[in-house]
Amino acid sequence: MLTLRSLSVARGPCTVLDDITLHISAGEFVGLIGPNGAGKTTLMRAALGLLPHGGQSSLAALPAQTRARAVAWMPQAREIAWPVSVETLIALGRLPHLATGARPAPVDRAAIDAAIAGMGLEGFRTRAANQLSGGEQARVLIARVLAQDTPLILADEPAAGLDPAHQITLMQAFAAEAARGRSVVASLHDLGLAARHCTRIIALHRGRIAADGPPAQVLNAALLAEVFHITAWVANTPYGPVCQPLEVLG
């Protein structure tokens, strides 16, 4: 799905990403965690080929049209420039599958309808997308990404600004994508969500991979202290894995 070899990004004299090598396989739901400025967004943008970078990314090597059918990208900036209807906006996800000027075919309509249903936006179809609340806009943009129907989804803080119910719905939707053989890489700040729903966690720290593995292995006291400077209660409970941040280390 995605292979990065010695990926690095420099901004002026600063090295933002240093020697990132990783491979994402089909069926993985990867949580990308790390403090602010760790390089999560840079990693995803460089992997997509949106930033000048050193090293190799299997996605950046693809021609733009092919890449658009291989990966869908949800940027952190939730941009909706015009008061287009929710349905029109979500339909933009089908652009890579349509020839210039072609109208959506039944397969496109099905993908759009599935995305709308998946994000619980049935009642919003005809509403102006840029006049919804922030959380609703986020769900519309996630639906657009789902409608693109690609083997891989990269999402930059998709859960930010969502209420708890919609955060869980979102994580379950991504997990369902992974369960049917797709892959999802999402940067997350909520360690509890990451622990509970992801199949794998990659922790970034100062532009390098600090840890990479299953949630139970990555989310431990030593790593959380080193990377986030926090203590946390991490446990495997009858309700599943739980990671609750507690205190900032002095």
Q: Does 24 bind other proteins (CB under 8 A)?
A: no
Secondary structure in 3-state letters for 72-119? EEECCCCCCCCCCEHHHHHHHHHHHHCCCCCCCCHHHHHHHHHHHHHC
Q: Which of 46, 89, 119, 219 binds other proteins (CB under 8 A)?
A: 89
Binding status of residue 169 toward other proteins by CB under 8 A: no
Q: Using the rule CB under 8 A, which residue among 12, 13, 14, 79 binds other proteins?
A: 79
**Residue 129 Cβ vs other proteins, minimum distance, rounded to whole Å:** 9
Query: b vs e for 58-75, b when ≥16 Cβ sit within 10 Å of the residue's Cβ?
Result: bbbebeeeebbebbbbbb
Q: Which is nearer to other proteins, 36 or 126 (CB)?
A: 126
Q: Which of 10, 22, 114, 128 binds other proteins (CB under 8 A)?
A: 128
Backbone angles phi, psi at 212, to 5 degrees: -155, 115
Taking the C-alpha atoms of residue 94 and residue 87, their distance in angstroms, rounded to an integer, is 11
Among 9, 30, 73, 187, binds other proteins (CB under 8 A): 73
Report if residue 83 touches other proteins, rule: CB under 8 A: yes
Q: Is 139 in the site for other proteins (CB under 8 A)?
A: no
Contact 167, 159 (CB under 8 A): yes
Tell me how far, at minimum, the Cβ of 81 lies from other proteins, in Å.
4
| Contacting residues for 229 by C-beta, under 8 A, at least 6 apart | 35, 248, 249
- Burial string for 227-246 (b: 16+ CB within 10 Å, else e) reads bbeeebebeeeeeebbbeee
Is 45 a binder of other proteins (CB under 8 A)? yes
Round to whole Å and give the CA distance between 244 and 196: 11
75 binds other proteins (CB under 8 A): yes
Q: Is 64 in the site for other proteins (CB under 8 A)?
A: yes
Select 17 or 74, whichever has its Cβ closest to other proteins.
74
Shortest distance, CB of residue 77 to other proteins, whole angstroms? Answer: 6
Q: Shortest CA distance to 1 belongs to which of 103, 52, 72?
A: 72
Q: Which residues bind other proteins (CB under 8 A)?
A: 45, 48, 50, 64-65, 67-69, 71-75, 77, 79-85, 88-89, 92-93, 95-96, 100-101, 128, 141, 144, 148
